[in-house]
A = this chain, B = another copy of it.
Amino acid sequence: MENKLVKNAVGRLVPTIINGQEQVPYMGVNKYKPSGKIHARNIPSNVDYPNDGNKKVSSLKEALINCGLRNGMIISTHHHFRNGDLIANQIFDIAKELGIKNLIWFPSASFPCHDHLIQYLEDGTIHHIEGSMNGPLGKYTSEGKMKGTAVLRSHGGRYQAIQDGEIVIDIAVIGAACSDPFGNANGLEGDSASGLLGFALADSQYADKVIVVTDNMVEFPCIPWQIQGNYVDFTVEIEKVGIPERIVSGTTEITKSPDRLYLAELTAKFCELTGIIHDGFSFQAGAGGTSLAVSEYFAQIMREKGIIARFARGGSNKYLVKILEEGLIDYILDGQTFDLDGVRSMAKNPKHVATSPFTSYNFHSKGNFAGIVDVVILGATEVDVNFNANVVTHSDGYLLHGIGGWQNCLYSKTVILPIPLFRDRMPVILDEVTTICGPGELIDVIVTERGIAINPLRTDLIEKTKNSGLPIKTIQELKEEAEQICGKPEKPKLSNEIVAAIKWVDGTIIDVVRKIK
């Protein structure tokens, strides 16, 4: 295999080999179809597990040793504990203590709390990271310091990669707020409650060995079993799996910025006037301040017009829970709970339903939920004049964010990005984005404080907004307005060295991230 750069369907030069594995360059929306079979794990037998169901061992170290931890293994964790995670760091502390080298860490995402692991990237305990990197580890990667190449995937793409055997997890370590000795686990009860554990679902189903770690071991059966003990090899009870105040923040609040509120209001207005907000509709908004505000404006419109939504997709939070309880939505289909109101609601309300990247986002399934959603409100660090958007790098080229469910959500019926026209005097709409994470043909509407640009492909929306009074402009016009204010932006200074690859939802390479000069 000779590694070479080829131009993919969005015009980016991407390598054909990453970390020794052959890659398929992005071929366009719905153009690549997989052949082959899903990953088949070894057939286990009850003979090798205690008949009474008690799989408890005394420590995480013992569990890792029992799982045969050794050089070069792929170790996975989930990010439901967000910046309060206490598990991932411990795993690699143990690996270091045992003298293990060249591990691949495969988290569903990493957070600033994981900067502890930089020492292990330095000393060779960890070879590289495949997973979304928020903050310090992304910066470290951008600086070209990681030995291998980072691979970033969406939530659905991570499920797809595990399912398809693109990445075969040797040991999955699943922290849980609540577990029984058999390994049934959930994120609903206990000091480290995180709501659900959907990001660990694929890991539990497909990993060779699975460890559940909890600080709240209950008697069998742990109900509900969001993670099924039948997939679990060992269980461990420790004092603390996470830092509660960093797992669920009670401080997720609607933006108070007048600019952001205006973006939210304009977005809601657009959805109202185009008929997107209609009886039985569905929506997804993220957990950022602007997105929360959009949900609130949606709720106002729904109340005024007597409209009931069939479902809202979460990330849930107190605002979404409130409108569920008010009866404005029939269901919350939730992928992660962002605050304690979300956790409590999911624990008690059967209409607040836990989902997983399998149900919601996996592109290599017989359909998923994304396409069923009428409208999603998403963010972006940059958008180009062809509506291609970036969510992982900043305009200075630094890799600082994960993809999350962003790529997957682009399959929803209408995708709206409310974004400021510039940030820190850097235009957000550009001729070319630093990194393409999503192809423009899937992005329908850009809402800025100076006007709304509709993707020319969406002639229906263009038609509907004629004479609507909405400030419709072309994206070119918006870009020029930004440049008039901020000047033509400089390109980030990047070397040719590839430090990270961005996968599309089908496992192909849509773009790469290059080392900062």
Q: Does A42 contact B (CB under 8 A)?
A: yes
Q: Mark A275-294, 1 if CB is under 8 A from B, else 0.
A: 00000100000000000000
Q: Is A46 an interface residue, CB under 8 A from the partner?
A: yes
- A304 CB–B CB distance under 8 Å: no
Known: A49-B366, A221-B353, A411-B51. A40 touches B43 (CB 8 A): no
- Once the chains are docked, how many angstroms separate the CA of A238 from the CA of B102? 57
Interface centre among A44, A49, A229, A367 (most CB of B within 10 A): A367
Contact between B221 and A367, CB atoms less than 8 A apart: no
Q: Determine how close the nearest CB of chain B comes to the CB of A266; give it in whole angstroms.
A: 27
Q: Which residues of B contact A232 (CB under 8 A)?
A: 366-367
On whether A36 and B43 interact (CB within 8 A), knowing A52-B372, A53-B367, A333-B221, the answer reads: yes
**Known contacts A37-B40, A45-B33, A45-B363; is A353 also within 8 Å of B224 by CB?**
yes
Contact at A49–B367, with CB atoms within 8 Å? yes
With A353-B224, A358-B230, A371-B51 in contact, is A46–B219 under 8 Å at CB?
no
Task: Scan residues 6-53 of chain A and give those whose CB is less than 8 A from a CB of chain B.
Answer: 30, 33-53
A220-233: CB near B (< 8 Å → 1, else 0) gives 11011100111111
A33-B47, A220-B310, A280-B219 given; A225·B363 CB < 8 A: no
Contact status of A42 and B49, CB under 8 A, knowing A219-B280, A230-B368, A331-B221? no
A229 touches B367 (CB 8 A): yes
A46 touches B351 (CB 8 A): no
Per-residue CB contact flags for chain A residues 185-218 toward chain B (1 = under 8 Å, else 0) read 0000000000000000000000000100000000
Tallying the copies of this chain within the complex gives 2
Question: Size range of the interface on A?
Answer: 35 or more
Are B233 and A366 in contact (CB-based, < 8 A)?
Answer: yes
Interface status of A78 (Cβ within 8 A of chain B):
no
CB distance from A34 to the nearest CB of B (A): 4
Residue from B223, B364, B368 in contact with A351 in the complex, judged by beta carbons closer than 8 Å: B223
Does A359 touch B at the CB level, under 8 Å? yes
List residues 234-289 of chain A with CB under 8 A from any CB of chain B: 280
Contact partners of A413 in chain B: CB under 8 A: 52
What are 28 A-to-B residue pairs whose CB atoms are below 8 Å? Answer: A33-B45, A33-B48, A37-B41, A43-B163, A46-B363, A46-B365, A46-B368, A49-B367, A52-B371, A52-B372, A53-B371, A55-B366, A219-B310, A220-B372, A221-B310, A221-B311, A223-B351, A223-B353, A224-B350, A224-B353, A228-B359, A229-B366, A230-B359, A230-B366, A230-B367, A231-B366, A232-B366, A350-B350
